[in-house]
Structure 1
C-alpha cells in the first residue's frame, strides 16, 4: 500500500486544516521544504492540495506547485479547485501523476470521460468526499447523493482511481472509520486511496487489510501523532 504524506498549500505555505475550515489552518512552513522532508524520511509519493484553489483562487500557487513537481520527481496526486476540463488539462501539463476531480466530477461527470480520453484513465482520479454517507461538495458544505453510487459512476466514466475522504473524521486525529472504506472497495474495481482520520499504525494496517491502494497522512503526521517510518513499515 502506498503512503501519501499531504502537502496542503494555502497562501504559499504548507498547512493543515481541521474539517476543511480555513480558519483552523496551522502552518508548517515552505511546501517544498515539507515535501523534501517527507521524501528524505522515506516517502515515495505525495498528496498535494491547492487549498487556495479549493477556496476559489484556482491559479494561485501554480508556480509553486510546478516547482514542487519538477524538484521532487515523485508520484504526485493533485487536487483543489479544478473547476473545468481546461483547469484539469493545465494541471496535467505540469507533470503531476494524476489530478483529483471532486466538485467538478459531480457537477460535470463527463469531465472525467473527457480528461481520461485525452490523458489516460490512470491520470484521472475522482474524489469521493463523504459526509454521513453522502458525497460532499463545495468545500464540504453541501451533499449530493450516495457516495458508493457516485463512485461506481466515476469508475464507469473512466476514472482510473478514487480518493475517498471521510469528512466526518478528517483532521480530528481520532482514527479511521473502516467500514465505509470496506464498503467502497467492495463495490469498485479501481484503486482507492483513503484520506481522513489516519492517526496510527492500526489505521494503516486496517486500510492495508481492507485492500486500499494508498493512505493519505495529514494532520496526525504533522502533529507527530503518527510516525512516517512506522506508517511505511505497516503499509508493507
Structure 2
C-alpha cells in the first residue's frame, strides 16, 4: 500500500512527464526538482536515470516515425562521454552546492530561452558536439540537460515526431550510461527500487497523454508556458535550499 506522500510524488511525476513531453524539454527538468523535495539529491539522480530509461523507451515507441541517425551520432556520442564526466563529478561536490547549481541552471536557462525566443543555432557539426557535450555534462551532474539538447536539435528543423524520437534515443543512451555510473557512486538504493514499476507506467501514460495534447495545442505556445514553469521551479529550488 502506497503512502500518501509516495502517491503525491508519483502524481507530480506524471505531471512532469506530460509537461516535459509537450514542452519538448524532457521530464527531468521538472522531475529532478520535484523529486528533490522527497529524496536526497544523490538519490534523485539515481531515480531520475532509471525513470528516464522507461520514459524514453515510451517516446521512442510512440513517436517511431524514424530516427535521425546523423544527429544521433553527432549529439549522442559527446553526450554519452560527458554524462560520464558529470556523473563522476557529482560524487565529489557537496549536495547543497549541486541543489543551488540546479536552481540557478533552471532560472538562467528559462530566462535565456524566454528572452531569446527566436534564438537560432547553426545546424553544423561543431554546434552539435558542443550542445551534446553541455547537455550530457548537465545531465550527469544535475540530472537534467534536455533543454540544451532541445535548442541544439531545433536548429535542424525536424518534423515534430522525428524530433521527439531522436531526442528520446539520445536521452536513452545518456540514461543507460549514467545509470551504471550512479550505481557505482551508490546513488541507486535497493529500498527505492519498488518505485521503478510505477515510474515505468507513468512514463508510458504521461508520454501518451503528452502526445495527445500535441494534437490540440501548438508546441511553441506550450513551450513558453513550460519555460515559465521551469523558472518558477528553479526559484523554488533555490529558496528550498535555505529553508
Return the TM-score normalized by structure 1: 0.28
Larger RCO: 1 or 2 (CA < 8 Å, sep 6+) = 2
Please state which structure has a larger fraction of its residues in helix: 2
Return the TM-score normalized by structure 2: 0.27
